[in-house]
Amino acid sequence: MVSLCFLEANLDPTIQVGAILKQINGNNRVGNSDYFILESCEYVESFLKFSPKSTIVLNIDNDHLDYFKNLDNIKKAFEKYVALLPYDGLLVLNADDPNCLELRSSTEAKVVTFSIENDKANFIARNIVFDDKGFAKFDVYHNNSYFSEIKLSVPGKHNVLNSLACIALCFEYGIDKYDIKSALLKFTGANRRFELVGSYQNIDIYDDYAHHPSEILATYNALKNKKYRQSWIIFQPHTYSRTQNLLDDFAKVLTNFDNVIVTDIYAAREKNTYNISSQDLVDKIHSLGKTAIYISSFDDIAKFIKERACPNDIVLTVGAGTVTEIGRKILN
């Protein structure tokens, strides 16, 4: 979103993000200005190697526990990160996340906040409504004064928060509100972010990179604003350590979907020294009173969906690994 706003304002930024952005036909762009828009990650504290002038922190959650071990260590890493900001820098924080707000005491930079729930935030979304596609329209208030009506072309309340963060940063950089409004309407998402990959017999197939319970919940909340008959989630857990550490949270969030299929854990960088399996997750979901099924083969999953999904259903492939391949198998 920030990238599109800077492009819309003809600021010619250099861009490096973690997913394919349609408007630049890739995940990077080399500009000729001093603006460098970068998506960073906290894993192994790699974001401490950067020297940010401005930064947005959307949320702080208990992820990457194979490295951090606990939430306190994650919070300490973010404290070190925002301390990198210069005194004339900018920190944009989610005022709906208490962990984010704690970062205000760790920086000398200017702090600007955004929120849906907190009336004391600098940028607030009010009067939020969703259309049949789950796209939001809302009014933005800046320091409790009307700023603009904003329309999005991506689903979910989490994208309302994302857009508020974008608006807050771009406003501080002097970008005209009409350029911001136009760019946000043009933003149709990055690949693997609730991405529509195609339709099969009036069944829509979406793909999403979510691999943490909070991310899956955001995906579900975006889904429920759409109109559909039934939902089918095909979930590929990502790493053994995350599956073990967050097993209860994964099971709980997956019960929100009408039909749940779990496939094999994507090992990524790990070996299974945790004695955990996808069947353990299915068993945990069953213990919560929800039906779920474990299927290993992607071909078998595609066949299972084709035999059972009905018109006006929505199928989601969810996870940070190879689960994205299943959508293509259903469509072919």
Could you tell me what percent of the chain has a pLDDT over 90?
A: 81
Report the CATH number at residue 171: 3.40.1190.10
Q: Which two tokens stand for residue 268?
A: 């990524």
103 and 62: one domain? yes
66 and 99: one domain? yes
Q: Tell me, what's the pLDDT at 192?
A: 79
Distance (Å, whole) CA 29 – CA 22 = 12
149 and 273: one domain? no
97 and 222: one domain? no
Domain boundary among 186, 217, 240: 186
SS3 57: strand
Q: Tell me, what's the pLDDT at 45?
A: 87
Total domains, the chain = 2
Cβ atoms of 245 and 272 within 8 Å: the answer is no
Q: What is the pTM of this model?
A: 0.81
Provide the residue range defining the domain that includes 82: 2-186
Domain boundary among 186, 212, 230: 186
pLDDT tens over the chain, length 332 residues: 999 999 999 999 999 988 888 889 899 999 999 999 999 888 788 889 999 999 999 999 878 878 888 999 999 999 999 999 999 999 999 999 999 999 999 999 999 999 999 999 999 999 999 998 889 999 999 999 999 999 999 988 999 999 999 999 999 999 999 999 999 999 988 777 788 899 999 999 999 988 999 989 989 988 988 889 999 999 999 999 999 999 999 999 999 999 999 999 999 989 999 999 999 999 999 999 999 999 999 999 999 999 999 999 999 999 999 999 999 999 98
59 and 174: one domain? yes
127 and 155: one domain? yes
86 and 205: one domain? no
118 and 218: one domain? no
Distance (Å, whole) CA 293 – CA 283 = 9
CA distances from 270 to 232, 241, 245 (A): 28, 8, 14
With CA atoms as reference, report the closest residue to 259 among 325, 189, 307.
307
172 and 39: one domain? yes
214 and 275: one domain? yes
Domain boundary among 186, 209, 231: 186
